[in-house]
Structure 1
Amino acid sequence: MTTSHKKCSQMIDLSHTIFDGLITYKGLPAPIMCDYLSREKSKEIYGEDYQVQIGKIEMIANTGTYLDSPFHFAENGKDLSDLSLELLANLPAVLVDVKDQIEIGPESFQHLDVKGKAVLVYTNWSQHWNTEQYFENHAFITKQAAIWLVDNGAKLVGIDTHNIDDTRGKLRPVHKHLLGNDVLICEHMTNLEQLPKDGFRFFAVPPKITGVGTFPVRAFAQIVD
């Protein structure tokens, strides 16, 4: 007599909530959210017994937890509509715990097999989300780390901080090198401390929009026991 064992999966939400007035990146405008058609107004169309709400959002693409495609940094790079689902969903993933480090170099990754995987970088910086501290002296990946990740076959790099690059200057070498080699970026993540080091799958699927390089995602991990 054999006993079958069903695998159990757990979903971990890795995205921040977007709300009216949220500042994701200092200097960029916050989203404006309102009713296009309110429930009260809808009564005039559908009658007293049937109410609907249609929302209206005015929002830049770099809001909340978002995905960067190559088009974000290269005119001829792939935009959101060009990305295959294989790059956005069900990616094997690994977690790098560099909690409380600021400058994250290649030595933080060299013990990992990243080929074909999403590499999620846990810095614990998301604890400062929606505060002034979030924007200042944040953790970042170095250019040398980006080169190592590309050379070793990573498909996506995610981080729970204000920017994957050092924003104290104007240059963005990590964006340029990763996106220039078709390695996607997911920034402003959260809840990475809930993930195991490996053995999980990563999902970060944006809408299929042409001519846009960045957009919010509902990023999440699936852990299968």
Structure 2
Amino acid sequence: RTGCAVLIRTGWDARWGTPDYLAANPNLTGEAAEVLVAAGAALVGIDSWNVDDVADLARPVHSRLLAHGIPIIENLRGLERLPRRGFRFHAAPLPIPSGSSIPVRAYAVVIER
């Protein structure tokens, strides 16, 4: 739905704290970014350390999403505990002025139905 956060669960966060975490990670393509833009995503989050293929210095996913005002949150953990739908995602940034990459306190509130 338009205006929703899209959180991408790859399972990569299981490698958190190991040397494998920074290995070639799952990522999105420029085409996937276009789909997210067209769908009206309000935010994109992923449980790996980069939404882009780090070998591609053009960073097409970052470029496309940020050009459309869509924030990106990387390094999420515990997405497997969330239901597919029915929660509100929050990302509270640290108050760092003029930052280009700012840590957030990410959390979700499951909505009782």
TM interval, short-chain normalised: over 0.9
Deviation at 1:125, TM superposition (A): 0.1
Deviation at 1:169, TM superposition (A): 2.9
Cα offsets for 1:123-159 (capped at 9, x unmatched) = 0000111211111121001100100101111010000
Return the match for 1:210 from 63, 76, 97. 97
- Greater relative contact order (Cα 8 A, min sep 6): structure 1 or 2? 1
Tell me the TM-score normalised to structure 2 length: 0.94
Distance 2:25 2:98 in 1: 30
Q: Give the % identical residues.
A: 43
SS at match of 1:219: strand
Residue of structure 2 in register with 1:4 after alignment: none
SS at match of 1:218: strand
Residue of structure 2 in register with 1:161 after alignment: 48
User: What is the 5 A alignment of 1:128-143?
Assistant: 128-143=15-30
Deviation at 1:121, TM superposition (A): 0.2
Deviation at 1:211, TM superposition (A): 1.4
Distance 1:179 1:169 in 2: 17
* Structure 2 stretches lacking a partner, 5+ long: none
Q: Which runs of 4+ in 1 moved over 6 A?
A: none
Q: Which has the larger radius of gyration?
A: 1
Distance 2:31 2:86 in 1: 26
User: What is the 5 A alignment of 1:71-150?
Assistant: 113=1, 115-150=2-37
Distance 2:39 2:52 in 1: 19
Distance 2:20 2:71 in 1: 26
Q: Alpha carbon RMSD of aligned pairs, Å?
A: 1.0
SS at match of 1:205: strand
Structure 2 counterpart of 1:124, which letter? G
* Structure with more of its chain in helix, by fraction: 2
* Structure 1 stretches lacking a partner, 5+ long: 1-112
